[in-house]
Structure 1
């Protein structure tokens, strides 16, 4: 029987969900998500999961980011509440949930570093980070200690896009037709990936594992532009007046660093896009993931169509085993980690 471990499935643990319902800052998102019962109702979630043979879920925090909900002590409290809830779910249902990615709030770096250690001690496989923190990019120097600590502990990063209805044109006040979500989120991920690459993150931490949502966003499709724009033609361009706008020197060609990211299959069942991503990242760096439960069926559509897309590609059995479960198990296996340096 095939095994599927869905590497990116969002959830509100019960105690965290109860707390959200008391917060005015969460009122907007909750209006939309109260009808999405598998996000917070385990019975509904299990019923849908049982529709797929051999299917398990790695749990990840649901949006919105904690940094957008609260500041200070409240943000720290929410972070801990989320992570305790995720750890409890994994402990109580190990047959369904083989692991979890913990939440972080990056408002207070000292508290974030303390939570990295605490979450590691209660079994977190890594952390879900959003592509920016209220508009502050992840390559801002203030966040460097967070990446350093995650790398030191050999934990994994799940990189999730976050973007509101920013205007598509400067003459307008907000994005129309939900373009900000459909195209804005992949753009947001791609920008964050590029900023992390050119910040020298992978030169400092060559073994850091970062999983990018939605199959690396725009990166696989625009691989040629990466090679041309940040490789072949860099030396022939007229430099801008502000030298800070130029990419910083790296130890390797820029395109090599983009291949260091991992990617998931959360592409809503698009066969061609899945093939493009698999060709770019390769058999060892793609993880089965659906983005459960964010569809009109409460998650079933995304799981079903993701499986159908992979089936349509007629991959070898060995290739499929890696994608369906092998790669994520390798990433979250605590026994396979290198010794912690303290």
Structure 2
């Protein structure tokens, strides 16, 4: 069984609540129109038979639309809907990733302390490259990183657009934003402040493996070493040579099978393409199995230990 650590949903009750806040969401983000995001029965028809997914919400964040109390209520309800979905479809899903509302820090910390730690099906929490117009590594968000490290809760890091920029595009912008967020986390010294911190980065670490030598020659040595502490997924729509760069840079033990399903390749994502890319890599059977599942189980054992 392969464990897909980065698959997305937009569960129906939560989606309807967000549509009431912004009826134009599907026009602003056309990928939301994919029915496999919301319909789990339809999703099951497409899901690879040897794969279980770990599901996280797409980047529709209540904190961007409403004030703190309402945002917290919406993410709490979304998290409950996620938990119910996991319980109802345990054959499809290996776990779920909770949402936070970072305009309500106390409530977000309570989600970590209670909801995530007390529900075995909830395996981590999702953060985005920017929150409330600021870097994810802004000092006011530091309590999230401290709490996740203390409780051994992995963080899923997903990119979002920087709304200050007029030329955002889905091909390149998210990869830049993801890379910049990684740099800001490293610059903040979080891996040294919080040694148990575990962060899973979408899209194989974005630009980092390709620019490894720039990192090595430009940054201080302690920052160079911190970059290698991220975990990354394999969500590159295939591309075995790029995946080999990620393995060379982060190490085989830090690379986890992830597809971005059901996004990327219609109708339900690039699972077949990414499996084929991993199989085409110059790796041993044991190393491929580490990517497909074993690295995830090793990381999961550390949650809440």
TM category, shorter: over 0.9
| Alpha-carbon distance in structure 2 between the residues aligned to 1:299 and 1:182 | 19
Match of 1:94, SS state, is coil
Q: Distance in 1 between matches of 2:191 and 2:199?
A: 10
**CA RMSD between the two structures:** 1.9
Q: 1:310 & 1:63 partners in 2: Cα distance?
A: 27
Deviation at 1:10, TM superposition (A): 0.5
Partner of 1:222: 211
Structure 1 30/206 Cα, relative in aligned 2: closer, same or farther at 3 Å?
same
1:184 maps to: 173
Give the number of equivalent residue pairs: 303
CA distance in 2, matches of 1:38, 1:133: 26
TM-score, with structure 1 as normaliser: 0.83
SS where residue 180 of structure 1 aligns? coil
Q: Which has the larger radius of gyration?
A: 1
Contact 1:12 1:40 (C-alpha < 8 Å) held by counterparts: yes
Deviations along 1:276-305, one digit per CA (max 9) or x if unpaired, are 1111111111000110111352224x1111
* SS, match of residue 6 in structure 1: strand
1:214 Cα offset (Å)? 0.4
Q: Which runs of 5+ in 1 are unaligned?
A: 168-173, 232-251
1:118 and 1:103 map into 2 onto residues whose CA distance is 13
Residue among 264, 279, 292 paired with 2:261? 292
For residues 1-342 of structure 1, what are the structure 2 equivalents within 5 Å?
Answer: 3-24=1-22, 27-28=25-26, 32-33=30-31, 35-49=33-47, 52-120=48-116, 121-123=118-120, 124-163=122-161, 167=165, 174-175=166-167, 180-231=169-220, 253-300=222-269, 302-333=270-301, 336-337=302-303, 339=305
Separation in 2, partners of 1:283, 1:18: 40
Check conservation: 2:26, 2:33, Cα contact below 8 A. Answer: no
The CA distance in 1 between the partners of 2:107 and 2:272, in whole Å, is 39
Q: Cα offset for 1:200?
A: 1.1
Return the alpha-carbon distance in structure 2 between the equivalents of residues 154 and 212 of structure 1.
16
